[in-house]
């Protein structure tokens, strides 16, 4: 065998061994694992109206966060990724106004919303203001009773007259769109909280809920309070009443005249039989 044939055979064997080497296989495999380690957290931040163009922060296990900065879009939607090992995560959206600095909680890669409902359920479970909860190192254990708090809060909404969109509604994980049934519920609730006469601010309301005072939830507005459609009918009734009142006055005057006639007639009788 010539030296050229021998050299060619050695090179071919080296190439074959390199293609089957553990390092090549490990490199390809590690890329797949790295992709699997990222989970997506996506949802909507809204109070009825969307919390638009606002930063969303994640505070996860081990001090981790979103791998890139996250901001809501014009309709309050957001999407970010965290490492799966970083779950669970506390979430915060920072909009304009104290009632738009809201919090949520994610323990898996799923739809996750940030609304007054998620904020208040966290307050109820952690027995503290969500802004303080977000800064806790033990934020996960602080909401160990989150499922119970969610059930209690939703029951309190029902008792206050709010129409919840189905038995499976979950404020944290039920996806929704602006102006759909969930969003309209948020809008109605937020307006009712703003109009509470004895509560100075949203944070004051949060303090009431964090102390377990679910009776503080305002009653759902009635239809007449919502649209005032009954006012026109009432005005119409008032007009009809005015007409009737005029008729009644005429009758009263007739009765008065009859009484006067009777008095005139009774005068002599009283004299005769007095």
Task: Note down pLDDT in tens along the chain; length 274 residues.
Answer: 444 444 444 334 333 333 433 333 333 333 333 555 999 999 999 999 999 999 999 999 999 999 999 999 999 999 999 999 999 999 999 999 989 999 999 999 989 999 999 999 999 999 999 999 999 999 999 999 999 999 999 999 999 999 999 889 999 999 999 999 999 999 999 999 999 999 999 999 999 999 999 999 999 998 755 543 333 333 334 444 343 444 444 444 444 444 444 444 444 333 333 3
**What is the residue whose two structure tokens read 């966290």?**
122
User: Could you check whether the bond before residue 179 is cis, i.e. omega within 30 degrees of 0?
Assistant: no
What is the per-residue pLDDT for 80? 98
Which architecture does CATH list for 38-214?
Sandwich (2.60)
What is the per-residue pLDDT for 248? 47
What is the per-residue pLDDT for 224? 59
Q: Of 85, 93, 86, 50, give the one whose Cα is nearest residue 69.
A: 93
CA distance 207 to 201: 10
What is the per-residue pLDDT for 166? 87
Cα 198–chain centre separation: 22
pTM of the model: 0.71
Burial class (CB in 10 A: 0-12, 13-18, 19+), 186: buried
What is the per-residue pLDDT for 274? 35
Q: How far lies 165's CA from each of 31, 110, 169, 181, 234, in Å?
A: 42, 20, 6, 6, 32
**pLDDT by residue (tens digit) across 44-59?**
999 999 999 999 999 9
Q: Are 124 and 152 in contact (CB under 8 A)?
A: yes
Cα 209–chain centre separation: 15
What is the per-residue pLDDT for 62? 92
Domain extents for the chain? 38-214
**pLDDT by residue (tens digit) across 9-65?**
433 433 333 343 333 333 333 333 355 599 999 999 999 999 999 999 999 999 999
């Amino acid at each position: 065998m010539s030296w050229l044939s021998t050299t060619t055979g050695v090179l071919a064997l080296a190439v074959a061994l390199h293609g089957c080497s553990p390092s090549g296989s490990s490199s390809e495999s590690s890329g797949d694992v790295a992709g699997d380690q990222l989970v997506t957290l996506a949802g909507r931040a809204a109070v009825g109206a969307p919390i638009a163009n606002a930063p969303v922060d994640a505070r996860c296990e081990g001090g981790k966060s979103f791998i890139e900065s996250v901001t809501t879009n014009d309709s309050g939607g957001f999407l970010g990724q965290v490492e799966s090992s970083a779950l669970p995560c506390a979430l915060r959206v920072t909009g304009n106004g104290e009632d738009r600095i809201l919090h949520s909680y994610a323990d898996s890669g799923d739809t996750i919303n940030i609304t007054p409902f998620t904020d208040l359920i966290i307050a109820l479970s952690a027995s503290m203001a969500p802004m303080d909860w977000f800064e806790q190192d033990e934020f996960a254990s602080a909401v160990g009773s989150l499922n119970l708090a969610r059930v209690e809060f939703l029951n309190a909404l029902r008792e206050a007259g709010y129409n919840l969109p189905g038995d499976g509604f979950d404020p944290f994980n039920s996806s929704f769109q602006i102006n759909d049934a969930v969003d309209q519920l948020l809008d109605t609730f937020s307006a009712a909280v703003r109009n509470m006469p004895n509560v100075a601010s949203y944070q004051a309301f949060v303090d009431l809920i964090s102390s377990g005072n679910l009776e503080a939830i305002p009653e759902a507005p009635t239809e007449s309070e919502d649209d005032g459609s009954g006012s026109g009918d009432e005005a119409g009734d008032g007009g009809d009443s005015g007409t009737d009142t005029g008729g009644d006055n005429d009758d009263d005057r007739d009765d008065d005249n009859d009484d006067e006639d009777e008095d005139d007639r009774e005068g002599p009788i009283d004299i005769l039989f007095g």
